[in-house]
Amino acid sequence: MGETEAKWDRVTRHELRRDRHTVSLLTDHLVFSPKYRGKVLEGEVAEAAEEIIRETCRELDIEVMDMAVNLDHVHLFIKYPPKYSVSWIAKRIKGRSSKLLRDKFPHLREWSPEHLWAPSCYHGSVGQGWEVVEKYITGQKNYYMKEDAIPVVVVDEEKEKTYKIGFITLHTKIFAVTGPVP
């Protein structure tokens, strides 16, 4: 199988999103945490948080590929329509879940009266590396319940070597440098 055919198989395997005027494959890995990295997402709170986040995504026509709710942060791997920006999606998910969780669990409102989530958020655009993100998030599920769990992303050394050679070649072409690359 040629390289072009292999790339096509990867794309069709995860289905392109088709709308009236667009064909897209927009995926993102979001990570956000409660204020002060509070360890408040446990038991019923974690279950309710996952349910609220999934429902919010469903209402926005956002597909949740994978999710892990840990004690002090949430990993969310989504496929979303091009009409939304990732920051807008994060704002909607965090805003709605904050309100509903603090209404349902009064101790959260006492702990943080105005906002449940920290204002910052990690956004990682995911291209063809779906398997890596899915493996990482799967490793994060119930992470705090496992005593000896250490999330590890296995790096293909041959691929890393190829990328490094490509970077050095590109750096040399751009900057016309013949010495060692930083």
| Residues forming beta bridges with residue 29, ordered by sequence position | 77, 124
User: What percent of the chain stands above pLDDT 70?
Assistant: 69
- Bridge-based pairing state of the strands 74-79 and 63-69: antiparallel
pLDDT category of residue 135 using cuts at 50, 70 and 90: confident
Phi-psi region of 37 (alpha: psi -120 to 50; beta: other; left: phi over 0): left
Rg (CA), the chain: 20
Residue type at position 114: E
CA–CA separation, 149 and 155 (whole Å)? 18
Mean pLDDT of the chain: 78
The answer to whether residues 10 and 128 touch, using CB atoms and an 8 Å cutoff, is yes
Q: Tens of pLDDT along 114-124?
A: 899 999 999 98
Identify which has the larger pLDDT, 4 or 145.
145
- Give the CATH architecture of domain 3-151: 2-Layer Sandwich (3.30)
Strand partners, 67: 76
Q: What's the pLDDT band for 19 if we cut at 50, 70, 90?
A: confident
pLDDT band at 45 (very low <50, low <70, confident <90, very high): very high
- Look up the pTM and report it: 0.68
Give tens-digit pLDDT for 21-43.
888 888 999 999 999 888 999 99
Residue-wise burial string across 152-174, b where 16 or more C-beta atoms lie within 10 A, e elsewhere: eeeeeeeeeeeeeeeeeeeeeee
Split at pLDDT 50, 70, 90, the class of 103 is very high
Q: How distant is the alpha carbon of residue 105 from its chain centre?
A: 26
Distance in angstroms (rounded) separating the CA atoms of residues 10 and 94: 31
